[in-house]
Structure 1
Amino acid sequence: MARPRRASSNLGGDPRGDTSAPAWATMERTQPAQSSSGGKDLPQHSKRRKARSALHKWKQISFRHTWLTPLVLMVAILAAYLVNPGEQNPFHKAIFLSYNLGPDYPGGPDMYGKGYADWVFVGFYTIVLTFTREFIMQRLLRPMAIKCGIRKRGKQSRFMEQMYTAMYFAFLGPFGLYVMKQGSLWYFNTTAMFEGFPHRKHEGAFKAYYLIQASYWAQQAIVLVLQQEKPRKDFKELVLHHIVTLALIGLSYRFHFAKMGIAVYITHDISDFFLATSKTLNYLDSFIVGPYYLTFMGVWIYLRHYINLRILWATLTEFATVGPYELNWETQQYKCWISQIITFGLLACLQAVNLFWLYLILRIAKNYVFSDSQGPQDERSEDEEEDEEIERAQRNEDLKLNGNKPALQLNGVPVEGEAKPEGVRERRRKA
């Protein structure tokens, strides 16, 4: 007997993971109500013109086009640099890598050191990634979702988030493998993570990849902190994952454990690509979602658990036996018992979150395989239930703003007041 088509999606649930961070473009936010009060002697359009300030107009525009504010900031920084281009310009640190030390040998690649200016670079590219994320979602992915027949706003948001994630890691995943291939770290060589410690300088591609990834996760964290929508059901795990990830990024870069960090980056990049594409196929009710989900599970288990458990084991063994093992602030030698405990603790915490998500992934697979024997039933995913809650909350908010009356909407935006034909004047009654 053929499998009955589910009402929501082929998997009957949405795989959880660290690709679920929302964007401003996908948040259900309510615009501030327009003021309709004013003197009776003034025309309606005149009252509105005086009431709207430049700031209010900008809020309205940026609300509709969430990519506009980061674009303005990005253009302003680039323009400030172009006024006086060169290393003497303070904005040079934001756009280009800092601390060029030159090659280690004639004809070799330029090596780069580390410093506080690197965080300026991270800050600028956080703005860049915010712009690209919001612009691609609004201008490319939302029309694509509608064209693919996705009607519910919540499901469109999920589709947009996962498609952007897949696009991002489709580039950064291979780039990370390329960076790893250039040195002794290939292929997840744990011994190379500790040989020659401390690793105080890296090639330009290595440093650029590391800092751009830091910008990506910083941008994700900012959206989580500032989000204005109802938190999703795995919100706590997602926040914990981002806290641990940012701690690992910052500490590994500052204390010269970046070779460990890049291996962890790559395992998450590639598995996130398969996670995001698996979710996307699920939203599209693709006929290959079952086999692809099985492939995704294999990639997830291999990279996030097998490889990362190898790194955890190396932290317990090779960390102390390969290379120097002492604390010396003058020589920036930080590979010691304190850093070993901190590194193992953070990686173990990250592994615990991934194991929790693996449990949910396996549960979805079990429900998918054995759902036929249970007969027809309501197979709505948890995300769709969350979407309905968000839509109900949005409608209730609109009713409050409109005095518990149904909101008149123009292009999806609530509009207050009653529309009146032009040229028709209200006849006043004589006393």
Structure 2
Amino acid sequence: MAGAVAGNAPIYLDYQATTPLAPEALAAMQPWLGDLTGPTGWANPHSSHAAGRKAAAAVEVARGHIAALMPSGGRVVFTGGATEALNMGLRGVLAGQAPRRKIVTIATEHAAVIDTCLWLETQGFRLHILPVGTDGLVDLDQARAAIDGDTAIVATMLVNNEIGVIQPVAALADLAHAAGALFLCDAVQGYGRVALPQSADMIAISGHKIHGPKGIGALWLRDGVAIEPLIHGGGQEQGLRSGTLSPALCAGFGAAAKVAATRQQDDAEHLAALQQAALRHFAGWQVNGSLDQRYAGNLNLRRDGLDVSRLLSDVRGVAFSAGSACASGSGRPSHVLTALGLPTEKVRSSIRLGFGRYTTVDEIERAAHLINSATTSQLGSHTG
């Protein structure tokens, strides 16, 4: 299946922002989008009648598919997305950690973690943000020194959404546990594709980053980890997340997880081929972040002197980005690239290419031609 939609649609290379909906996920959702004249697929899964019980059963099937990719000994709590899951993990667990007041995280974390931690600072918690090296990776000796007996939780992203580097999450989880702290992993960009930290206490994920639907995520909680709910009401989702679940969204998420489990090796091999093709065709660019400790479906590249805003406007045939979709339009340089020590002019000359299951090598080659041609034209005009 080709990555670009037929017709005049651009080649899609923004998989970190969102992924195309898998056909299997769409098919799983359709029975639960019924109308008044059809089957009762629109029933409330929290109702006790037969239609409600049928919808609830579909939700539990989906929960099982999602849990199958998680460590053993835990439970999956559905949320409205990964941002809610991360807030639930951080704020929910800290509500019961009064003696410990310290949070440790990393400078390149997603805003869902950083901004939540900054808010928790206003509530009396102490925040320690670990720096990263020029490769985007945290120094474990610095982490060991920071994670002490006052630390309540360590929150770390598995795969960075902007530069794709893979943090040493298993080692960080061990450091957290050695200090008596909990470990929360933001696995949004890695779930179903990269090995998860088996000793994590909480793992946050998102449906639309693994070819599932938008509007649904989940927080995995290890058995024995207690958190307070963020949303109060009917207590529908295990007493932790009030509100009516969507059987359609749950079913689509579950189907996407099931496909990811069966295709994990094939997807990894496909991504490796795409990455090698991209590196060949973008040989004149510099890679931001470690190339060794990296998820193969992400390349963050820069060309000194390039005006990326102009490049994005000039290359209409490719959908790519200058960084996180969540921060686009803010006008601020990427905090992730800045944390690598890059000056503003180099940050603003960087692009992010994201590719995945439905991308073809031919699309990589055509996209490289379009981007490189526009780049050569722009840089040539600067020197002419």
Q: What's the TM-score once normalised by structure 1's chain length?
A: 0.23
Q: Which has the higher strand share?
A: 2
**Larger gyration radius, structure 1 or structure 2:** 1
Bigger fraction of residues in helix: 1
Normalised to the residue count of structure 2, the TM-score between the two structures is 0.25
